[in-house]
Amino acid sequence: MAVGVLGDLQTSLRSIAQKARPQSSSPFKAVRKAIVADRAEYAKDTGFPIKPQRIVWDLREVLGPEDIAISDVGAHKMWMSRMYKAERPNTCIISNGFAAMGIAVPGAIAAKLAYPHRKVVAVTGDAGFMMNSQEIETALRMKTSFVVLIWNDSEYGLITWHQMRHFGRPSHIEFKNPDFVKYAESFGAKGYRVQRAEDLLPMLKEAIAQDTVVVIDCPVDYRENMKLTAKLKEMRSPL
């Protein structure tokens, strides 16, 4: 049954919350269970390039409950929104709706200006990063320190994912990146490159402790994308 509610948003939501009772059975329970299992299964995966699940896990490990992750737009956003366990409201900011790529670096500057005492990580694809990476200059000039975690696949990962789902093959999605470490250093920021799965956690820990902008070039294994599509199809069919 669908019911319309007309009223002040805050008052209406409060009243609904007071009346609402948890459902004993929900189709989302199975989805949640699968997400939790998936996250745990890959937490210590040593495959390289790194699986998206492990990147999200390691990021969650280093950030405190009040710290802020800003996601750009792309396949990485799908993994962040699916698996990043936000502990407090507004600690995982995701560009949805218009879904404009390039939000992560300027978003991190804004988050750091608003909350100077919290750690901030800009989570971004390589293409989205290259759309607004010049703002590293702004970040350093404004003395905002944060980490930029680039999920590097030298592709428009999400577009590849869509093309594979619809047409079974990708087209015109590859590109070449600059050397992100040298690129970061050319601004006066720091640059790290992940070369083994085990590197990421200590590298993230070191990076968020720095009082500057640190760019981490992290190769990602997006073969997991289509595996997730297949898994979701399997889960949907019995409903």
Ligand X SMILES: Cc1ncc(C[n+]2csc(CCOP(=O)(O)OP(=O)(O)O)c2C)c(N)n1
Q: Is 191 in the site for ligand X (CB under 6 A)?
A: no
Q: Work out how close the CB of 76 gets to ligand X at its nearest, in angstroms, rounded to a whole number.
A: 4
Q: Is 192 in the site for ligand X (CB under 6 A)?
A: no
∠ at Cα 79 (239, 164), nearest 5°?
A: 75
Among 156, 183, 187, 192, binds ligand X (CB under 6 A): 156
Residues 59-98, interacting with ligand X (CB under 6 A): 72-76
Closest to ligand X by CB, 107 or 128: 128
Residues 12-41, interacting with ligand X (CB under 6 A): none
Nearest to 73 by CA among 126, 124, 136: 124
Q: DSSP class of residue 155?
A: B
Angstrom distance (rounded) from CA 127 to CA 154: 8
β-pair type (92-94, 214-219): unpaired
What CA–CA distances, in Å, run from 49 to 65, 93, 193, 197, 235? 28, 25, 12, 7, 27
Among 159, 164, 181, 201, binds ligand X (CB under 6 A): 159
Among 38, 126, 135, 217, binds ligand X (CB under 6 A): 126
146: amino acid identity, one letter = F
Closest to ligand X by CB, 77 or 112: 77
Residues that bind ligand X (CB under 6 A): 72-76, 99-102, 125-128, 151, 153, 155-159
